[in-house]
Amino acid sequence: MHNVLREWQTELKQTFTGTRDAVPGWVPRLAEGDDFGYHLPGSAVWAVHGDMPTIVAGIRALLMQALHPGALAGVHDHSRFREDPLGRLAGTIRWIFTVSYGSTEAARTASDWVLRLHKSVRGGFVDGHGVARNYAANDPELLRWVHIAFTDAFLSTHKIWGRPIPGGPDAYVREWAQAGRLMGVVAPPLSESEMRQQLDRWYDDGELRCDSRVAEVVELLRAPPLHPSLRPGYQVLFAAAVTSLEPKYRDLLGLRTARLGPIPLPVTLATRGTLAVVHLALGRTGPSEQAARDRLRRLGFQA
């Protein structure tokens, strides 16, 4: 069992960080900086992003984000998601953890770097009404869609499989709005109800669509190029992401809730067990959180 856990640890680190090293090089730098950062121990952001359901949330967020044809066009035309989907995942995780745990300077620098990359991401797409339009990755509408789809995914999965959120769901939406502002989102939603209203507006207005490009993303997310030892657990987590979706979005994606094995195992229960195994493999406190705590202690923060 010890050898199996060590193998899982190595492969999980490679998947989530892009390196087999014990700690990625960017993580220790989260201990640097001269301020407390945007988020602190005991915050809703630390509670959500430091918990295991984030793995399911990442899958759900990508499924949802693919439904906006403008957002998907940028990924399809300008990224290497087919050749290196895990590398793209590792870059996203680095940004999330830097904003969650880093100093304000580190968070701004990481966000500015992403925005600079987006400057050249431009092209055309056909919207949900069949009208040809132009897109730019830094367009306020697309930035808002990505931010809200992300926030919805992390909050929704945490409500199913996570622990209580300090201050409740509204606190998470309000705190993570800072990440939206750093990425250029104007007046991001500050409550769960406001977030849901804005999310559903795209659906109600017919802005979302599912086509062959979306189907390609779904199939890649259904069976990414993972190490064989991770595939059974990933299938449970993918099923969890699908199950967590609101039925109208699940239907739009052409997905159905899964049957796990010849004798159907409840997805919620199976996911809880799978996340517990991942937690055992990765350890109780993540290195990003530990680095942040080192910075806070150096600056005299007292919880």
Q: What is the mean pLDDT of each run of 10 residues along the chain (303 residues)?
A: 53 57 81 97 97 93 93 79 67 92 98 90 86 87 94 97 97 98 96 97 95 91 84 91 95 82 73 88 79 96 81
Model confidence pTM above 0.95:
no
3 state SS of 122: strand
Domain edges within the chain:
2-289
d(CA 264, CA 74): 38
> 44 with 163: CB under 8 angstroms?
no
pLDDT at 80: 66
d(CA 267, CA 161): 11
**What are the distances in angstroms from CA 60 to CA 67, 84, 103, 285, 302?**
11, 19, 28, 24, 35
Determine phi and psi for 13, rounding to 5 degrees.
Answer: -65, -40
pLDDT at 228: 83
